[in-house]
Amino acid sequence: MENDNQQAVFFAEKDKILFVDDDPVNTEHFVLSFEEEYDIITATSGEEALEIFHRQPEISVVISDQRMDGMTGVELLSTIYARHPDTVRIIITGYVDVSDIIDAINRGHIYQYVLKPWDIVQLRLILEQATQTWRLTRENQQLADALREKNRLLEEANIQLTNSETRLRNLSGNLLHAREDEQKRIALELHDELGQSLAALKLQIRVIEQEQASAAPSSREELVIRLQELRNAIAEIIENVRRLSKNLSPVIIDDLGLDSAIEYLVDQFTDLYNIQCLRKGPAAGVIFPPRFHLHIYRLLQEALNNCGKHSGATMVELVIQPEDDCAILIIKDNGRGFSKKEVLAIPVKERGIGLTVMTERAKMMSGTIAVHTAPGQGTEIIFTLPNTHAGTDGKPGQHG
Ligand SMILES: Nc1ncnc2c1ncn2[C@@H]1O[C@H](COP(=O)(O)OP(=O)(O)OP(=O)(O)O)[C@@H](O)[C@H]1O
Ligand SMILES: [Mg+2]
């Protein structure tokens, strides 16, 4: 309804027609003929017409005589065409002057020509078509403008959408990384903390089994003591699980510092496997940056456990070696060694993950792990951490 009203108002507005002729008789005739239908503005020369146009560009149709003093009709309409191409341009010309305007018509500067003397019915028709053309052109232009604006908004929305998508992708990528890192960390902790404790427990139970198989009933007291020890070991594991779930970090490092933690680890190892451990070099806590202490502890833990479980060694050497531009940690046993090729040939599902975990830890510290071994030749694990000269100045680490 509102639209209809708007349209009614729009059509009720008279179209503006600029009539240009230096003969006042013609002008009067034109005005009298069409003033009811159109809002007519008149000019007596091309120059005056341009001035009027400059002031009121909303003119639908310019209708001009060809022969005038000064600027000709064609010159006037060509100028208007250059400035306002949508205004409909009509020329009134005598038959003899037609050849003068043909070029302008061909170049699109003139919409229509009317021969003199003009017929009022014919001219009315021409003016109707001309104003209709002007309106359609204007409506088209408004639609095109609206379309352009909509396109612009769409493009903006598109850019925002792409930006949001990129942000979302980055965010989910980060989340994924964070989750993977966290999972990796938990896997390492589970392997190192729980796996080893349970393995030790299993070993203790096997020792008891073997002893019990041949024991006299009188050794019951001893069994009670053994079971008591087992209970303590289990309690320790429970405590470890509690700590693990709390912060996934072996509390002993935080409580005592890296070197005391290593000492405790080595003592446990020697007790459990009866393998002598020789320590050489400065304190690990001084050489390795505090942020890596947990990793160092875990590396050592796995290397010692492998040595206890697999090597049959009688002796293991633990060496910390500060160099100019790096720090080196060596764990070397005199056991049976192994063929790396054979171990790698074991299907992944059945293969242990200790060595892989070590390599992962080394990577996390931007360091490297090398394993030197062969059957019958013992095993040497060499961990190298580059860029540690800051740690070799004798200043103690933050732990301990
Ligand atoms: N010090 C060592 N002496 C002899 N063999 C070793 C030694 N260290 C590792 N190995 C051999 O390498 C294999 C792979 O060790 P890795 O630590 O990756 O797995 P695992 O100890 O068998 O199992 P997990 O560590 O997952 O409990 C071992 O099964 C063993 O055969
Ligand atoms: Mg292992």
Residue 195 lies in a domain: no
Residue 362 Cα to ligand 1 midpoint, Å, equals: 17
Q: What one-character-per-residue DSSP string does 131-172 give?
A: HHHHHHHHHHHHHHHHHHHHHHHHHHHHHHHHHHHHHHHHHH
Q: What spatial distance separates the first Cα and last Cα of the chain, rounded to whole Å?
A: 86
* pLDDT (tens digit per residue) in 84-134: 888 999 999 987 778 888 888 888 789 999 998 889 999 999 999 999 999
- The band of 395, judged by pLDDT with boundaries at 50, 70 and 90, is very low
User: How many other CB atoms are found less than 10 A from the CB of residue 30?
Assistant: 21
Tell me if 194 CB under 6 Å of ligand 1: no
Tell me if 49 CB under 6 Å of ligand 1: no
Q: Percent of the chain scored above 90 by pLDDT? A: 52
pLDDT at 56 over 70: yes
Residue 328 lies in a domain: yes
Residue 309 Cα to ligand 2 midpoint, Å, equals: 8
User: How many other CB atoms are found less than 10 A from the CB of residue 143?
Assistant: 10
User: How many other CB atoms are found less than 10 A from the CB of residue 279?
Assistant: 15
Q: Which of 63, 84, 118 is the last residue of a domain?
A: 118
Cβ proximity of 327 and 388 under 8 Å: yes
Q: Check residue 243 and give its pLDDT.
A: 60
Q: Check residue 47 and give its pLDDT.
A: 96
Residue 52 lies in a domain: yes
The mean per-residue pLDDT over the stretch 141-164 comes to: 92
Stronger pLDDT, 241 or 139, i.e. the higher one: 139
Tell me if 355 CB under 6 Å of ligand 1: yes
Range of the domain at 84: 2-118
Residue 155 lies in a domain: no
pLDDT at 140 over 80: yes
Q: DSSP assignment, residue 14?
A: P
Q: Check residue 249 and give its pLDDT.
A: 54
Residue 135 lies in a domain: no
Residue 340 Cα to ligand 2 midpoint, Å, equals: 13
- The band of 153, judged by pLDDT with boundaries at 50, 70 and 90, is very high
Q: Check residue 349 and give its pLDDT.
A: 75
The residue contributing the CA closest to ligand 1 atom 30 is: 310
The residue contributing the CA closest to ligand 1 atom 17 is: 354
pLDDT at 79 over 50: yes
Which of 277, 307, 310 gets mutated to test ligand 1 (max ligand atoms within 8 A of its CB)? 310
- The band of 22, judged by pLDDT with boundaries at 50, 70 and 90, is very high
Of all ligands present, the nearest one to the C-alpha of 381 is: 1
* pLDDT (tens digit per residue) in 181-227: 767 777 777 777 777 778 888 888 888 877 777 766 667 777 888 88
Residue 382 lies in a domain: yes
Q: Percent of the chain scored above 70 by pLDDT? A: 88
Of the candidates 156, 124, 158, 165, the one whose C-alpha atom is nearest the C-alpha of residue 38 is 124
Residue 306 Cα to ligand 2 midpoint, Å, equals: 5
Tell me if 307 CB under 6 Å of ligand 1: yes
Distance CA 395, CA 285 (A): 10
Number of independent structural domains in the chain: 2
The residue contributing the CA closest to ligand 1 atom 29 is: 352
- The band of 274, judged by pLDDT with boundaries at 50, 70 and 90, is very high
Q: Check residue 241 and give its pLDDT.
A: 74
- The band of 173, judged by pLDDT with boundaries at 50, 70 and 90, is low
Which of 193, 196, 338, 342 gets mutated to test ligand 1 (max ligand atoms within 8 A of its CB)? 338
CATH code for the domain in which residue 111 is found: 3.40.50.2300
Which of 275, 306, 307, 361 gets mutated to test ligand 1 (max ligand atoms within 8 A of its CB)? 306
Residue 58 Cα to ligand 2 midpoint, Å, equals: 90
Tell me if 301 CB under 6 Å of ligand 1: no
pTM over 0.75: no
Q: Which of 63, 85, 118 is the last residue of a domain?
A: 118
pLDDT at 318 over 80: yes
The mean per-residue pLDDT over the stretch 138-154 comes to: 93
* pLDDT (tens digit per residue) in 320-344: 999 999 999 999 999 999 999 999 9
pLDDT at 381 over 50: yes
* pLDDT (tens digit per residue) in 350-367: 888 889 889 888 988 889
Distance CA 379, CA 308 (A): 12
- The band of 2, judged by pLDDT with boundaries at 50, 70 and 90, is very low
CATH code for the domain in which residue 359 is found: 3.30.565.10
From the CA of 196, give the closest atom in ligand 1. Answer: 27
Residue 376 lies in a domain: yes
Residue 176 Cα to ligand 2 midpoint, Å, equals: 28
Burial class of residue 254 (count of CB atoms within 10 Å of its CB; 0-12, 13-18, 19+)? middle
The residue contributing the CA closest to ligand 1 atom 3 is: 311
The residue contributing the CA closest to ligand 1 atom 1 is: 307
Tell me if 335 CB under 6 Å of ligand 1: yes
Mean pLDDT of the chain: 85
Q: Which of 73, 96, 118 is the last residue of a domain?
A: 118
Nearby residues for ligand 2 (ion, Cβ within 5 Å): 306, 352, 354
Residue 185 lies in a domain: no
* pLDDT (tens digit per residue) in 216-261: 666 777 788 888 888 888 888 877 776 665 545 555 777 789 999 9
Tell me if 87 CB under 6 Å of ligand 1: no
